[in-house]
């Protein structure tokens, strides 16, 4: 044996040969698998149907879950404001039992207009405050009735606190609020229903509880939030609201840090809590005798709710992929039976077990991957169609696409492994005798 044969060069040659051989094996297996799929187009399509439906279902469910989260976030921003928070006797982001609600109602102190004035006096330089009361009443004008309009009693600062966008006219002013004038800023539903044919309802009046209110502004179109229209609403001064519906026992207070203060929402909330605790003469370590809620708390509750839905619905949807994998396994077993003689010839000519396994396994993975790709495409098309047709918020996300493709590829490997193993163990002599 020469030095050249035993030197470092021989090892490199063997590695290069091994790489070339492996590349050839893969390309040959891909070609054979593709030819087999093309030779049985209808059977291959029917085999892939379970995977296609499963992946498309996962994409649709994922789009709906993600879209619902986006929709909830947008609705929260429109209805709540981006940097505002709310203080009240009882406030919750959901998930509160009736017993918990009653316990809080008994323990917490009512929030009144006096507390709003106190907060204005203590923290007014750094934080904007607005009392908030809501009631439902039918609104009327010239025989036209709009039922169950949300009448919102607020202060003039509410437009800035909750990012209320007025597209026509203006929000009412502080002098109008202090004077208790019957002025209103209305939503899009009131504009289109009570003032049909008018380009602008500014200066016109409509009735709440039989009292005339003059329109001074129109809020931008907001759409629905959790099944209820946000456009069937009217903002009126809190003074006029109390005159219509009485003073009530408790109010809520919306607040937001002033831009020039440099405070974050959390810092402003901390100052508000300190002020109210002092007002209620609470000792250090005692639980707050009032409640508060922030947009982050609402979004956190919605996210946790959607996570529970995803944890239940997505695995159920993935079951169809398991069914698709079982179908692929059965078809591959049939395919191995059909090609018993071919496999015997290949093994007689020197094909190794690895070569046979690779061919069958790649064919199963190709079928599963093709089904996954078609499912993703169909799911994306249906998602786009539903979004355009119904105006719903649906969004295909990379996470669910990767999840679907990964699961479908895994299904292909698992479902193809047993048929490939069975084919590789065939005795060439017995296989050559097969008809």
Give tens-digit pLDDT for 141-156.
Answer: 988 999 999 999 999 9
For the ranges 114-128, 168-182, 353-367, which has the lowest average pLDDT? Answer: 353-367
Average pLDDT of the residues of the chain: 83
Which neighbouring-strand residues pair with 282? none
DSSP annotation of 140 reads E
Cβ–Cβ under 8 Å, residues 73 and 82: no
pLDDT at 2: 46
pLDDT of residue 133: 94
Q: Is 428 exposed, middle or buried (0-12, 13-18, 19+ CB in 10 A)?
A: middle
pLDDT of residue 410: 81
Q: List Cβ neighbours of 338 (8 Å cut-off, separation of 6 or more).
A: none
Give the three-state DSSP class for 18: helix
Segment 102-115 mean pLDDT: 90
What number is the average pLDDT over the span 41-49?
Answer: 80
pLDDT of residue 234: 96
Q: What is the pLDDT of residue 328?
A: 81
The owner of tokens 């009570």 is 194
> What span, in angstroms and rounded, lies between the C-alpha atoms of 255 and 189?
27
User: In this predicted structure, which of 62-66, 148-152, 296-300, 421-425 has the lowest mean pLDDT?
Assistant: 296-300
User: What pLDDT sits at residue 1?
Assistant: 45
Of all residues in the chain, the percent with pLDDT exceeding 70 is: 89
Determine the distance from the C-alpha atom of residue 268 to the mean position of all C-alpha atoms in its chain, rounded to a whole number.
Answer: 29
SS3 281: coil
What are the pLDDT digits (tens) for 299-313?
777 777 788 888 888
Question: What residue has token string 């163990």?
Answer: 425
**How many Å is the maximal CA-CA distance in the chain?**
112
pTM: 0.66
Digit-coded pLDDT (tens) for 235-263: 999 999 999 999 888 999 999 999 999 89
């Amino acid at each position: 044996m020469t030095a050249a044969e035993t030197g470092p060069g021989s090892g490199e040659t063997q590695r290069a040969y091994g790489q070339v051989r492996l590349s050839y094996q893969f390309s040959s297996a891909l070609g054979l698998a593709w030819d087999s799929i093309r030779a049985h187009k209808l059977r291959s399509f029917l085999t892939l149907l379970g995977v296609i439906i499963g992946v498309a279902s996962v994409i649709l469910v994922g789009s709906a879950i993600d879209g619902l989260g986006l929709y909830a976030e947008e609705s929260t921003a429109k209805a709540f404001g981006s940097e505002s928070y709310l203080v009240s006797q009882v406030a919750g982001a959901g998930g509160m039992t009736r017993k918990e609600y009653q316990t809080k109602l008994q323990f917490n102190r009512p929030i009144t207009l006096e507390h709003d004035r106190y907060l204005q006096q203590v923290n007014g330089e750094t934080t904007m405050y607005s009392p908030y009361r809501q009631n439902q009443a039918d609104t009327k004008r010239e025989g036209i009735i709009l039922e169950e309009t949300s009448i919102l009693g607020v202060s003039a600062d509410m437009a800035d606190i909750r990012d209320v966008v007025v597209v026509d006219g203006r929000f009412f002013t502080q002098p109008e609020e202090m004077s208790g004038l019957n002025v209103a800023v209305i939503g899009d539903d009131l504009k289109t229903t009570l003032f049909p044919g008018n380009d602008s309802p500014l200066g016109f009046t409509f009735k709440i509880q039989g009292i005339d209110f003059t329109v001074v502004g129109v809020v931008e179109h907001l759409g629905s939030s959790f099944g209820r229209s946000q456009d069937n609403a009217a903002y009126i001064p809190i003074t006029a609201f109390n005159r219509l519906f009485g003073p009530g026992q408790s109010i809520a207070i919306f607040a937001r840090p002033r831009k020039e203060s440099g405070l974050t929402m959390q810092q402003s909330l901390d100052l508000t809590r300190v002020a109210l605790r002092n007002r209620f003469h609470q000792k250090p370590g005692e639980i707050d005798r009032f409640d508060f809620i922030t947009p982050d708390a609402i979004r956190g509750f919605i996210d946790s709710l959607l996570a529970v839905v995803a944890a239940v619905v997505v695995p159920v949807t993935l079951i169809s992929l398991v069914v698709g994998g079982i179908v692929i396994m059965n078809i591959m077993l049939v395919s191995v039976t059909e090609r018993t003689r071919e496999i015997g010839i290949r093994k007689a000519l020197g094909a190794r077990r690895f070569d046979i396994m690779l061919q069958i396994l790649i064919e199963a993975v190709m079928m599963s991957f093709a089904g996954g790709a078609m499912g993703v495409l169909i799911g994306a098309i249906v998602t786009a169609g539903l979004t355009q047709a119904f105006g719903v918020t649906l969004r295909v996300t990379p996470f669910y696409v990767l999840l679907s493709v990964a699961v479908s590829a895994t299904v292909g490997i698992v479902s193809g492994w047993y048929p490939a193993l069975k084919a590789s163990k065939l005795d060439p002599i017995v296989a050559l005798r097969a008809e």
